[in-house]
Structure 1
């Protein structure tokens, strides 16, 4: 899975490569012979589908500032829809609470976001669920905000 856009890729490992699930690799490294193709959620094996949530969790945890910036820079995506509206369990009140707190000052991390917006619990989990949703239902999702 690509870290920048949660892109699912099939990679060909070099014969002498010692790789295990969850390893981080640069596409240019010697351990790889290249990228074969881009995958969809439904072409993954069941084991890969089962590991997907923990992989996304690790990516979001390791790139926390990038995802906090996503909350800080969330914008309307239409006349009646905001980027925050596509997150699970975010309604009008929570959206407005997040926007109001962001106007007072940018969020520094997930703990700051959770502390300042009382009704918001585990903002990291909301991003994880949205990314999984965008991967699972790629054809049905109208707004892809996390997955490339």
Structure 2
């Protein structure tokens, strides 16, 4: 089993200055919390900010091991159900932004995706891709690798927005605990 990579940077989904509302402790005993998502593996995290700093929604924060500017520590890894309503509402927009920023990583997925089992291909895991569309993608990438999302859309007419398929898959992997294959996230 390979060692799990740690997230180094995260983007803020919600800031809870008085901790969780359902925390039974009096508010003065609660610590402030930040709900965030890692930029590499889309891990959902709960962070404890340093006492004197101000952290904003959508802010990118460093959470690696060295000197952290704004985060005291990573408190725990959380699941989708642990997110606040605000964080759940912001999640699709933030994931979409990350997909655009890391476009080449996701285009590489279309260029390098392989079979998982004799009857299941990694491309099948994207919503809307069946056998016929999978074969069309494989034929096109064998002619010439895809350069970007626009290239995928131009060459595969049935995929006008490949980034939306990736967004839907990432959300499914985060929301559904029973997803067997994690393509873009880690369990």
TM-score (normalised: structure 1): 0.96
User: Counterpart in 2 of 1:43?
Assistant: 82
Q: Which segments of 5 or more consecutive residues in structure 2 lack a partner in the other structure? A: 1-36
Which ranges of 4 or more aligned residues in structure 1 deviate by more than 4 Å?
A: none
User: Counterpart in 2 of 1:34?
Assistant: 73
User: Counterpart in 2 of 1:147?
Assistant: 185
User: Counterpart in 1 of 2:96?
Assistant: 57
> CA–CA distance in 2 between the matches of 1:24 and 1:61?
16
Q: Which has the larger radius of gyration?
A: 2
User: Counterpart in 1 of 2:48?
Assistant: 12
User: Which structure dedicates a bigger proportion of its chain to helix?
Assistant: 1
User: Counterpart in 2 of 1:22?
Assistant: 58
Q: How many residues align?
A: 147
Q: Which segments of 5 or more consecutive residues in structure 1 lack a partner in the other structure? A: none
Q: Does 1:67 align with 2:106?
A: yes
* Larger relative contact order (Cα-Cα within 8 Å, sequence gap ≥ 6): 1
User: Which structure dedicates a bigger proportion of its chain to strand?
Assistant: 2
Q: Does 1:106 align with 2:142?
A: no
> CA–CA distance in 1 between the matches of 2:158 and 2:69?
47
Query: Tell me, what secondary structure is at the counterpart of 1:77?
Result: strand
TM-score (normalised: structure 2): 0.76
